[in-house]
Amino acid sequence: MEQSGVEILLQSLLKKRDVLDQLIELGQRQEEILKQEGLDMDGLNALLEEQSELVAQLDRLDQGFELVYDRCRAQIMDHKDLYQKEIRAIQECIQEITAKISTINACNMRNKVAAEGHFRREKQEISQNVSKTKVARNYYNSMNKLNYVSPQFYDNKK
């Protein structure tokens, strides 16, 4: 059974919707990791890799959709009455996809702010530890020099 271009477009949009659902789930899992006190970098990196794979899959779906649409655009425009049901389904999918994309963008912005906060706190903690180490080293060096008495009657002449 051969599928029409409109059916392929609809299937592509449904797959895109499913991938966006997975991205929303990943965003929520990232948010949970970022809310924890200790940042799990391994878990966060795994989620980011998974997210990049899904984004690559979205790009492929978009490219395929564009190719199919370019091929069957004239047929759809000429016979709108035949494809009215499919066009309505495509429009609804596009509306759902748009809503999901805005949800993903909002979640990504929240996660970015949370990650920046974690990194800022870590940077402050590291700089505090460095300054504490520097103070301790200076104290140690000055205490070592305290008991050192330079030679008083040393003849510098040869």
pLDDT, one tens digit per residue, over 40-71 is 888 888 999 999 999 999 999 999 999 998 98
Which residues are CB-neighbours of 7 under 8 A, at least 6 positions away? 86
Q: What is the pLDDT of residue 36?
A: 84
Low-confidence ranges of the chain (pLDDT < 70): 1-3, 146-158
pTM for the model: 0.75
Q: What is the pLDDT of residue 136?
A: 86
3-state SS of the chain is: CCCCHHHHHHHHHHHHHHHHHHHHHHHHHHHHHHHCCCCCHHHHHHHHHHHHHHHHHHHHHHHHHHHHHHHHHHHHHHCCCCCHHHHHHHHHHHHHHHHHHHHHHHHHHHHHHHHHHHHHHHHHHHHHHHHHHHHHHHHHHHHHHHCCCCCCCCCCCC
Q: What is the pLDDT of residue 148?
A: 64
Q: What is the pLDDT of residue 2?
A: 47
pLDDT, one tens digit per residue, over 32-46 is 988 888 778 888 889
